[in-house]
Amino acid sequence: MIRESCVLCAVKHIAQARVLLLESKKGYEEFYHFATGHLAEAEDELLQDHRTIVDKLREWRKALEEDKEYEYPFRESVLLVAHQGQQEVLERVQQMEKELDGKSLDELRAYWADIQR
């Protein structure tokens, strides 16, 4: 079963992979494998809803797996995923604005109470 996509979780895994990859270059060779594992987890976090992004992340991860000296584009990957997260937030805010348009104060209170549960 594919898990629900989480762009924030994907960014977290990419950032952790960068830290581990830097450590691997300081002599902790096993951290290289932990780093590639986090990159694969980032892909898994996006698989359900963001196949195009997953394909790009996988391409970069596979290049790193083939060549440990490959300069993984961490900045580009984080920006790619974070931009998707911004788009999702914008879409959700627009959806909420439509749902709440013309609601009374009591209806807004009820809506707020419902999402707090």
Helix H, strand E, coil C: the string for 45-89 is HHCCCCHHHHHHHHHHHHHHHHCCCCCCCHHHHHHHHHHHHHHHH
For residue 111, what are the CA distances in angstroms to 101, 102, 105? 12, 13, 10
User: Residue 5 carries which DSSP code?
Assistant: P
With beta carbons less than 8 A apart as the criterion, state whether 7 and 48 touch: no
The pLDDT profile of the chain, 117 residues, written as one tens digit per residue, is: 677 888 889 999 999 999 999 999 999 999 999 999 999 999 999 998 889 999 999 999 999 999 999 999 999 999 999 888 777 767 777 887 888 888 888 887 887 788 777
What per-residue confidence (pLDDT) applies to 89? 67
Query: Which residues, including other chains, have CB under 8 Å from residue 61's CB and lie 6 or more apart?
Result: 36, 39, 40, 43, 72
What per-residue confidence (pLDDT) applies to 112? 78
What per-residue confidence (pLDDT) applies to 13? 96
What per-residue confidence (pLDDT) applies to 1? 66
The alpha carbon torsion through 93, 98, 99, 104 (nearest 10 deg) reads 110
What residues does each domain of the chain span? 7-84
What per-residue confidence (pLDDT) applies to 92? 75
What per-residue confidence (pLDDT) applies to 33? 97
